[in-house]
Amino acid sequence: EIDVVEFMWNNSSTNSQWIQMNLVNGNLSDGVWEANLDSTALADGEYTITVRAIDKAGNVNTTSLNVLIDNTPPDITIITPTQGAVVYTGSDVNIRVQANDSGVGIADGTICNVYLDNALVKNLTYNSTTNLCTGTISSNAVGTHDITIVISDMLNNSGNATVSIEVTNPPAGGG
């Protein structure tokens, strides 16, 4: 009969104390045990989670699992348009965004959401070979507009970046 089930985690710089798990289903001889670990409280990196069961006679059985903790969103840089760029009405706005993730990474084909003044206007596709999302959007309304790019890594940590552009009418005679 099991007396206690507990777990701990460690990595190259951190060792936790043993934390007791709770019996949630079954009985002490054949049960399901669980505990919650708030991974957002841990630094990013590789961890080993070890679970041990101790029976009433003091016999110990352990098992371990390696996991990667990644709570950091991707780093996003809007290459074009640049902050304060002037664009003429009816013109295409070239979007070129670099996205990098130091954790689990960004999957090839991930959607880069492009927002114009907080409204989703386009979905671009991330290329993991170049670390870029590229495409165009149109802007027809005169004035200052915010372009925001949002992309998530493979654990759904979302990063974003914003630039403002100025849309104006082309000069008389064309532009």
| Pairwise CA distance, residues 8 & 16, whole Å | 6
Q: Is a pLDDT exceeding 90 seen at residue 78?
A: yes
Backbone angles phi, psi at 130, to 5 degrees: -100, -10
Q: Is a pLDDT exceeding 90 seen at residue 111?
A: yes
Q: Is a pLDDT exceeding 90 seen at residue 148?
A: yes
Question: Would you say the pTM of this structure is higher than 0.85?
Answer: no
Q: Is a pLDDT exceeding 90 seen at residue 158?
A: yes
Q: Which pLDDT belongs to residue 174? A: 59
Q: Note the pLDDT tens digit of each residue in 14-50.
A: 888 999 999 888 887 788 899 998 888 888 999 999 9
Band of residue 125 on the pLDDT scale cut at 50, 70, 90: very high
